[in-house]
Structure 1
Amino acid sequence: MKLSKTQRKLRIRRRIRKVSAGTAERPRLSVFRSNKEIYAQVIDDVEGKTLVAVSSRDKDLAKAKGTKSEIAALVGKAIAERSAKAGIDKVAFDRGGNLYHGRVKALAEGAREAGLKF
């Protein structure tokens, strides 16, 4: 029987999560993409805590104009800057079941440009 789109995405998400579990030394950069917005969190899975979070709905980013991919790149730069302030320079990238393409790729490249290493 064929999997639905959501079941397939959940299966991929679970497979990725097995490999990229976040620790205190190397937390997980989790990306959630909705139709309009994009969210990024740096998570320590051992403690079960979110260390840093940024979204396209934040006050400073909500005013930004441009395409969704351009805004995703800004979110990537913001998450890298906030992570640097928190003392985080290396992360494990979790694309959340999405393809590494478009907005997810733009966010990752924006974070890399700002100094975050995956």
Structure 2
Amino acid sequence: MSTKAVNSRQKIRYRIRKKIVGSAQRPRLSVFRSNSDIYVQLIDDANGTTLASASSRDKDIKAQKGTKSEKSKLVGAALAAKATALGITTVTFDRGGYLYHGRVKSVADGAREAGLQF
């Protein structure tokens, strides 16, 4: 990825983070997308802690066959299952400077279908 693309995504990411804040009751669902994998976390910004996380590198998701978008949907569902086990039902979605399209949208759809509310 070129330096210009990275810098522009960082600018967008900082602009989004000024508006979005996670708490213990309504944590921030943060998305990071690499070329091959996708990582999501539930973050409590007040305490600076990660409450739950999931990624496409988890053994049960990595063993699945399918496209990166299909695996992203599984990652969203896995995070939603961990969140409901912690008693979390609502989250704030942080797309991390990426467009709400493709794998980022698949994560959100998977989490919504598994019971999380944005």
The bucket for the TM-score relative to the shorter chain is over 0.9
Q: How many residue pairs get matched?
A: 116
User: What's the TM-score, normalizing by structure 2?
Assistant: 0.96
Q: Which runs of 5+ in 1 are unaligned?
A: none
SS at match of 1:4: helix
5+ residue gaps, structure 2: none
* Offset at residue 4 of structure 1 (A): 1.4
What SS is found at the alignment partner of 1:41? strand
The Cα of 1:50 is off from its aligned counterpart by 0.2
Q: CA deviation at 1:19?
A: 1.1
Provide the residue aligned with 1:81 in structure 2.
Answer: 81
What's the CA shift for 1:23?
0.8
- What is the TM-score normalised by the length of structure 1? 0.96
What is the alpha-carbon distance in structure 1 between the residues aligned to residue 19 and residue 97 of structure 2? 13
Q: SS state of the match for residue 77, structure 2?
A: helix
Deviation per CA, 1:53-100: give whole Å up to 9, x if none: 000001111101100000000001001011000111110000001000
In 1, Cα distance between the equivalents of 2:105 and 2:38? Answer: 12
Q: Does 1:117 pair with 2:112?
A: no
For residue 106 of structure 2, what is the amino acid of its counterpart?
A: A
Q: Which residue matches 2:61?
A: 61
Helix, strand or coil for the counterpart of 1:10? helix
Give the RMSD, CA atoms, in angstroms: 1.0
Aligned residue for 2:64, secondary structure, equals coil
Partner of residue 97, structure 1: 97
Distance 1:21 1:35 in 2: 27
